[in-house]
Each structure stands twice: as structure tokens, then as C-alpha cells.
Amino acid sequence: MTAMLNVKDLRAYYGQVQALHGLSFALNEGSLTTLLGANGAGKTTTLRAICNMVRSTGAIEFEGKSLSGRSTENVVRLGIAHVPQGRGTFTTMTVEENLQLGAITRSDSKNIVSDIERMYAHFPVLKERHTQQAGTLSGGEQQMLAVARALMLRPRLMLLDEPSFGLAPLIVRDLFKILGKINREDKVTILVVEQNAQLALELADQAYVIETGKIVMSGNAKEIASNEDVRKSYLGY
Amino acid sequence: MSAAAEDAVTEAPAVEAVPKRAMTLSTGTSLVILAALLVTPMFVKNFVVFQMTMVMIYGIAVLALNILTGGSGQFSLGQSAFYALGAYTSAVLMEVANMNYALTLPIAGLVAFGAGYLFGKPALRLSGIYLALATFALAVAMPQLLKLHFLEHWTGGVQGLTVMKPDAPFGLPIGQDKWLYYFTLAISLAIYIGSINLLRSRSGRAFMSIRDNEIAASAMGVDVAQYKTLAFGVSAGITGIAGGLSAIVVAFVAPDSYTINLAIALFLGMVVGGVGWLPGSFVGAAFIIFVPNIAESISKGLSGAVFGVLLFLVIFLVPHGARQVAMVAQHLLGKLTKKN
Amino acid sequence: MELLTNQVLAGIATGAIYACMALAVVMIYQAIDHLNFAQGEMAMFSTFISWQLMQWGIPYWWAFLATLIISFAGGIMIERLLFKPLSKAPVLTNVAGFIALFAIVNSIAGLIWDFTIKQYPTPFGSSPFLGSQLISTHQAGMIGVTLLMLVGLYLFFQFTRIGLAMRAAAALPESARLVGVNTSWMIALGWGMASAIGAVAGILIAPVVFLEPNMMGGVLVYGFAAAVLGGLSSPLGAVIGGFLVGVFENLAGTYIPGVGNELKLPIALALIITVLVFKPAGLFGRAIVKRV
């Protein structure tokens, strides 16, 4: 079985500083994979490199197509949705406009309306607030909006950058439940970067551990969770 | 890469940093140029002497802008207004108050400094774009202010003022133009040396820290607002002196000599000369005096287009202006001499 | 009382022009964070194009429409050729670019059409509007055309997908790219629209200030004043600022002794400084935040 996303020898740079040192990994279609690592290990950079938001070298292939040299928006147009850190909410626009923006590249305007309804079914709180300015939402609501906005693309692959950041634990559980559901029911392949390793490993079926810009461990999420080193470094017991 | 560092969007600095040492010429080169400047007038026609004088005067004005921009990273599109203020101060003092022309210059400088300081205070609390906007408006409005009805008694209104051209003092046997040339040369030299010392002083370091990173500078204890206003005031003051000199040398002031086009020319002079490179100010000044002459001789109204096109060429091809050209020339020269 | 009403209405008419200029300036400012100092010159050039078309015998409204299209294309071209390459350059370089554009456009207009003052026609005539002595038909036409355009723009930005994408690109470029918006083209589109809006302003004001290469200098300063008053970050604010400034200018000219036509520009300057001192973010703008 060929991988949906294939990353080989990825190196990324911020100015003169190298942040990724030859990273390789692959995602299978339909999988839910998590990328674990300490602060500064290069998780966010990996996601940004996939979308060509940082200068990088190496090969990234998505469904057989090379991503190198494509602008960010053209990567997105292939069906890769990226929920950035900090959520990237368009705060001065309404919730509904944010959702419409998620579908801005689609031309099937009829389905967009029904997709917005589907998002409201996933996240009822967004329906309640659909005419409100997105900036007035709470952190958790904004994160849901960000996920919903990404799904409006009808992505084949969704990249999530620390969705739990700054959210109350209960909300995080809810959110992760929904992510699992989206992965199973909508067949969206998901790559999630997380600091909350425990939750991420419960949710995911595959996991990679990244340290100072390199993959140091990979495998089945359950195996990784039971690994002594991972337990000590990331799970704290 | 820490998460925070990735996320922070840093505003690009207004101008690229120029190292302090790169701001001047070596002593040897300076002396050679000075000697050339001292001797040249003996061998050329009066009109050329006059043009060289004007180059120095514009050079002072461009230098003033350079202190502001190269030194403290702010920029002004309103230098023509301070130039006009200095010119009118000198002209009015000479014609209405019968003051000696040399004595009017420090007053012209002070008046322009005061005006710049007061004008800069509100605009400088905000980012560079607001200062550019406010100074642009100032430059556009200035000719109308000079035409004001109730000032007409002193300023001569639309007609302007004609000023007596001074003779050489102590019965020196040189003509007016040559005398004014040496007079201007002396003042240019004093201002040039003074500016270098200013930028090397404590205040100069404060200016440059603001240029390179305003918020970091304030965190280090630099009173940003105070120094920005000061830099703006000093720049306006020096521009005022240049304006005063121009009134004496041209022997005439009128509102429409000081339009936004003058401000644009001075700005162009700075960019062409190289932002932050003080000697380049005079290269830039020569540029803005001689290029329009050539352009207008081809077709009336062409000089604006030539200015604009050259400005784009400089931006795209030699973003560091004359400084870059000088460095490349030096490099090539070095290579040539090595080969031989 | 009639004088007051008269002056307010006349102020609204010129205010409409300032609103257009302010809107054009704000649209580009929103997209690239720079002030287009050449906006007025671009508008002047557009006006000359329409004049030239009419000289060739094309009827007013066809010339108007053709000029809008040419200006739109010209704005996009200027952005693609000159300012896209400067997008990552320091502020100073960009300001130099705008100044250069200013000089080039002004100079070329003078070279082609020379610097003499020309009459410019109005399709509305200049008889009293609806028989009242308050405003002329041309002034009423200025207000009408501007309002029509503003409503059109509002509908475009509020209800079309491209309008939504343009707003997204201006608000948060990185997020916009992540939903697949081609932000670079949105900027070019903004330039094109700003250029066309400026053309409308130029064509409408030309019968009043007469046609010549320096006709827009003062208008642009008022446009800046309007944009600052409304807040550089708010298109709606810019429009409201434009009308306010227009009314203010006329009232000051009528009721403050010593302020006649000759002081119009210093008033705009004073207005800019006052706003910067007391309310730097403008009436409708967001506070300006700067990070290290």
C-alpha cells in the first residue's frame, strides 16, 4: 500500500537557522497520526514545511504529486487543510463567513450550503453563533471554528497544529472525540501535532516522535504509548 | 524553533541598518576631495561655480534627511517645508530687518528646528507611515501657507522676495559667486563634520538603536519619543540652514520654489546617494541638480519622469545607492592594482 | 440657514470625492500596509485618459466606462510590475517607489497633454438641482455616482466570494493562504479597484478643479485627511471621513474668518495633525499595535 503523504529528507530553515534536519515519514490514507515532541523540536515547522510556508528542501509527495515549488494556496487546493497554531480565525468576520472562506476554493456552491449545515451538526455551538463576529468566540469555540473551517475544504488530509493549546481539558476531550469521528466517518486522513501526548496517543493509530528536527521513533500509537522512554519524557509517569 | 518564535511576526525595519563606520569616508579621501573643492572655482566659469554652490546647499539638505533616515530610521516627505522656512527666515531678516546675511543662518536653523520639533512631536508617536503622511501633507500645504494674506507684508505673497546678493568682505578681490561658494563650502564642512560627530555621540547611538529596533531600544532605556523628536528637529534645523543659504545664494524666495517636488528631489537625492552614507548626500545633491537640467533640455516636464525612472532603477538595481557603487568601484580598483 | 444648508450640501458633494480617494488609499493600505502617495496622480492620469477618449469623439458615459476598465487594468499592471517585487523590501524602499510613481505619472501626463488647464465636461449640467438654489446638478451628480459606486462596492465585498476572499487576504494573509486564497492576486485586484475608484473621483472632480497634471494634489491630501480621520484600517471609516472632511472644509471656509480658498490645504494639514494627536486610530479604526 502506498502512502498518501510521503515526506523524505525534509530540511527547513528560518533564515540561517536550520530547524529540520532530514526528516522522513509517511501517512497512510485514512490514518490518524500524531507527531509528538518537546517544545522546539520542529513539529510546527514540519506542518508549515508541508504547506510551503517555510523555506525547505527534500521531497514531499501527496497522492503521488510533488508539493515542492507549489505556493501555499496551491498546496491547499490539492485537498490539504491546515489548522494553524493560534487558529488563524478571521476575527472581524462572522462565524458563517469563516466557514464560507474554508470553501472558497470549491466551485460546487450547492454542496457548500449543506456542508455548512453539517458543520453546525458537528459543532452545535457554531450554529448558535453563526452571525456573531468570530473574534467574540471563546478559545474553545474558535478552535472548533478552525476545525470546521478546515473541513469546509472537503480535505483529503487535515493538518492540525496543537488543537488543545490553551483549552480546558473537557473541551479538549470533546474536540478530540469529534476529530476521531471525522477521521472515521468522513475518511479524512489526519496529522495532529500535540504537546498533550497522552490524549494524542489515545486518539491516534500511528505516532512519530520528533527530537531536534529528526524523527527518533515511529510506530503504532499503542506501542509508542507503552514505550519506556516516551512514557518518561512525554507522558510523565 | 520554539513555538513562540515561529509565530511572532516581526515588522521589517524601516531601513536597513548601516554600520557606523560605513557612514563616512577615510581621512585621506576626504582631504583630497576638500583640496579639489578649494581649487576648482579658480578654473571654471561663474555659472559653474554657482551650480557647485547649489550642489553643496542641496547636499546639506539631503544630509539632514540622511541623519533622520539613515540615523534614526524615520523619513520625511516634507523637507521642502523646512527648507522654505529657513529660506524665508533668512530673506525676511535680510530684507525687512536689514540683518547681516551670515547672522540670519543660525536663526533660520533655529526657526526650522523649532518648527520641526513641534511638528514632529505628535506625528512621531506613531509608526513611520504616519510621519510620511503628515510630512507629505505639510509639503503640499507649505506654498499656500507662504502665500498667506496677512503675512504678505513680510513675505511678499505670491511674488516672493528679492534679496541683495552679498559681496565678499574685507575688500577681497573675488566675485560674489566665488565668495558665496567659499562661504557655503565652509558651512557645509562645518555641518558635515558636526553631523558625523553627532552620529558618533551618545545621541547618535540612541538614534541608531531606534532605527534598528524601536521597541528594543525603549526597553534598553532610550527615551524613544524624545530622541525621535530630537532627530526630526535637528534634521529640520539643518534643512533650514540650507534653505537660508539658498535664499542668500539665489537672492530670491517665492512660495512656488518650495513645492512637494523639492521634497521629492531631496528624498531622491538621499536614496541615490545611499541611505545612511553621509558623503553620498553630496553625490545625490549633484544628481538632483544636474539630471533635471539635462532632462529639461530634452523636453519640458521630462525631469519628473527621469527622476521617477531612475529612482526605480536605484531601488531595483543598486538599493544602497552611491555607497554601493563606490564600494564596487573600490573593489574593482583593488583587483586591478593587484593584477599589475 | 439657507447658507448653512447650502454649504453642507456642497461639502457633501466634494466630500464624495474625498471619500473615493480615501477609500482607494485605504484599500491599498489594507492590502499591503503602505500608503499610495501616487493615488492622486493615478486618478489624474485616468481623468486625462477619459478626456482624450472624449476628444476622439466617444460619448461621455462610454468614455467613463472605458476609463474605469483601463484604470483597473493599469492598477493591476503597476502592482505586478513595480510593487509586487518590493513586497518584502523595507518601508523606505516602498515609499521611494510610490514617490517615483508619483513623479513619473505627473511628468508623463504633462508630456502627453501639457501643463495648461483644460475644461472638463459634465453630463449633469450645472443648472440648479431640482429648481432649488442649494446645489447644482453636477454636485448632485457627484453625490449620486459616488453613492451608487459605494453601494456596489459594499455588495461586492459583502456578498460575493471574491469580495470575501479579498477581505480575508487583507485581514490575515497567512490564514487566507491556508484556505486556498491566492493573496498575491487579491492584492493586485485591490490595486486595480483602487485605481478605478480613483478614476471615478478624478472624472467627477475635474469639472470643478479643471483638468491639469497637478489637479489631484490637494484632493489627495484631503483624501489622506479623510482616511486618517476615519481610521486607516477601516474602509467604511474612510468613506464617512471623506464626507465629514468635505463638510468641515466648506463650513470652515464659510464661517471661520480669514479662511478662504487660499487656506484649503493648511486646513487639511491641521486636520491630519489634530486627529493624530487626539485619536491616532481614527474614528473607526483599530488601535495600532506594534511588536518587536
Q: What percent of chain B lies above the pLDDT cut of 90? A: 8
Q: Contact, B241 vs B257, CB < 8 A?
A: no
pLDDT of A28 > 50? The answer is: yes
pLDDT band at C202 (very low <50, low <70, confident <90, very high): very high
Nearest CA in chain B to A42: B1
Section C192-210 average pLDDT: 93
> Chain A residues with CB-CB distance to B under 8 A?
14, 17, 19, 39-40, 42, 44-45, 48, 85-86, 162
Cell of C158: 459583502
pLDDT of B340 > 70? The answer is: no
Section C243-257 average pLDDT: 85
What pTM, to 2 d.p., does this model score?
0.85
Nearest CA in chain B to C291: B10
pLDDT band at A16 (very low <50, low <70, confident <90, very high): confident
Q: What are B208-256's pLDDT values in tens digits? A: 777 777 777 777 767 777 778 888 899 999 999 999 898 888 888 888 8
Chains contacting chain C through 3 or more C-beta pairs under 8 A:
A, B
**Range from A18-32, A43-57, B295-309 carrying the lowest mean pLDDT:** B295-309
pLDDT of A2 > 80? The answer is: no
pLDDT of C286 > 80? The answer is: no
Nearest CA in chain B to C100: B308
Section C276-281 average pLDDT: 79
Q: CB distance B6–A17 less than 8 Å?
A: no
pLDDT of B10 > 50? The answer is: no
Nearest to B301 among C99, C110, C280 (CB): C110
Q: Which C residues, 174 through 193, put their C-beta within 8 Å of a C-beta on chain A? A: 174-183
C238 touches chain A (CB under 8 A): no
Which is more confident, B159 or B321? B159
Rounded to a whole number, what is the distance in Å from the CA of B151 to chain A's nearest CA? 50
Determine the pLDDT at residue B4. Answer: 34
pLDDT of B156 > 90? The answer is: no
Q: What are C188-197's pLDDT values in tens digits? A: 999 999 999 9
- Cell numbers 508619483 correspond to C102
Mean pLDDT for chain B overall: 78
Determine the pLDDT at residue C258. Answer: 66
Mean pLDDT for chain A overall: 88
Q: Contact, B38 vs B242, CB < 8 A?
A: no
Which of A180-184, A222-226, B96-100, C62-66 is the most confident on average? C62-66
Q: Contact, B131 vs B124, CB < 8 A?
A: yes
Rounded to a whole number, what is the distance in Å from the CA of C161 to chain A's nearest CA? 7
Q: How far apart are the first and last CA of chain B?
A: 51
Which is more confident, C7 or C189? C189
Which of A54-58, A206-210, A212-216, C63-67 is the most confident on average? C63-67
**Range from B117-126, B250-259, C66-75 carrying the lowest mean pLDDT:** B117-126
Q: What are A124-169's pLDDT values in tens digits? A: 889 999 899 998 898 888 998 999 999 999 999 999 998 888 888 8
Cα–Cα distance between C270 and B123 in angstroms, integer? 12
Determine the pLDDT at residue A117. Answer: 92
**Range from A58-62, C70-74, C254-258 carrying the lowest mean pLDDT:** C254-258
Which is more confident, B292 or C82? C82
pLDDT of C57 > 90? The answer is: yes
What backbone phi and psi angles, to 5 degrees, belong to A215?
A: -80, 125
Q: Contact, B268 vs C99, CB < 8 A?
A: yes
Nearest partner of A84 among A20, A159, A188, A25, judged by Cα: A159
Rounded to a whole number, what is the distance in Å from the CA of C94 to chain B's nearest CA? 9
Cell of B161: 522676495
C87 touches chain A (CB under 8 A): no
Determine the pLDDT at residue B164. Answer: 75
Instruction: List the beta bridge partners of residue B235.
Output: none
B1 touches chain A (CB under 8 A): yes
Q: CB distance A101–C183 less than 8 Å?
A: no
Section B49-73 average pLDDT: 86
Q: CB distance B6–A39 less than 8 Å?
A: no
Cα–Cα distance between A130 and A144 in angstroms, integer? 13
Determine the pLDDT at residue C282. Answer: 79
Rounded to a whole number, what is the distance in Å from the CA of C32 to chain A's nearest CA? 17
Cα–Cα distance between C138 and C118 in angstroms, integer? 18
Determine the pLDDT at residue B210. Answer: 73
Q: CB distance B2–A40 less than 8 Å?
A: yes
User: What are the chain B neighbours of C258 within 8 Å (beta carbons)?
Assistant: 149-150
Q: Tabulate helix, strand, coil % of chain B (nearest 5).
A: 80, 0, 20
B122 contact partners, CB below 8 Å, separation of at least 6: B134, C273, C276, C277
C170 touches chain A (CB under 8 A): no
Cell of C95: 515609499
pLDDT band at B316 (very low <50, low <70, confident <90, very high): confident
Chains contacting chain A through 3 or more C-beta pairs under 8 A:
B, C
Residue A36 φ/ψ region, left for φ over 0, alpha for ψ in the -120 to 50 degree band, beta for the rest:
beta
Rounded to a whole number, what is the distance in Å from the CA of C30 to chain B's nearest CA? 13
Q: What are A164-196's pLDDT values in tens digits? A: 888 888 888 888 888 998 899 888 999 999 888
Cell of A141: 469555540
A190 touches chain C (CB under 8 A): no
| A32-37 and A17-27 strand pairing | unpaired
What backbone phi and psi angles, to 5 degrees, belong to B282?
A: -75, -30
Cα–Cα distance between C124 and B315 in angstroms, integer? 45
pLDDT of B124 > 80? The answer is: no
Q: CB distance C178–A77 less than 8 Å?
A: no
Nearest CA in chain B to A212: B1
Q: What are B253-294's pLDDT values in tens digits? A: 888 888 888 888 888 888 888 787 788 888 888 888 888 777
Q: Which B residues, 170 through 229, put their C-beta within 8 Å of a C-beta on chain A? A: none
pLDDT band at C60 (very low <50, low <70, confident <90, very high): very high
| A55-62 and A5-14 strand pairing | antiparallel
Which of A81-95, C59-73, C273-287 is the most confident on average? C59-73
Neighbours of C119 (CB within 10 A): 9
Interface test with B, best of A51, A55, A85 (most B CBs within 10 A): A85
Q: Contact, C206 vs C218, CB < 8 A?
A: no
pLDDT of B8 > 60? The answer is: no
Q: What are C88-117's pLDDT values in tens digits? A: 887 888 888 998 999 999 999 999 998 889
What backbone phi and psi angles, to 5 degrees, belong to C19?
A: -60, -40
Section A42-60 average pLDDT: 90
**Range from A211-225, B10-24, B300-314, C146-160 carrying the lowest mean pLDDT:** B10-24
pLDDT band at B6 (very low <50, low <70, confident <90, very high): very low
Nearest to C161 among A76, A104, A153 (CB): A104
Q: Specify the 3-state DSSP secondary structure of C136.
A: strand
Nearest CA in chain B to A161: B3
Determine the pLDDT at residue B81. Answer: 92
Section B165-186 average pLDDT: 77
Cα–Cα distance between C52 and C41 in angstroms, integer? 16
Rounded to a whole number, what is the distance in Å from the CA of A137 to chain B's nearest CA? 21
pLDDT of B9 > 70? The answer is: no
Q: CB distance B122–C273 less than 8 Å?
A: yes
Nearest to C181 among A92, A104, A149 (CB): A104
C127 touches chain A (CB under 8 A): no
Q: What are B62-92's pLDDT values in tens digits? A: 999 988 887 777 788 889 999 999 999 988 8
User: What are the chain B neighbours of A39 within 8 Å (beta carbons)?
Assistant: 2-3
Determine the pLDDT at residue B16. Answer: 59
Cα–Cα distance between A170 and B302 in angstroms, integer? 71
Q: CB distance C276–B126 less than 8 Å?
A: yes
Q: Contact, C245 vs C23, CB < 8 A?
A: no
Nearest partner of B123 among B138, B141, B108, judged by Cα: B138
Cα–Cα distance between B321 and B69 in angstroms, integer? 14
Q: Contact, B288 vs B265, CB < 8 A?
A: yes
pLDDT band at B339 (very low <50, low <70, confident <90, very high): low
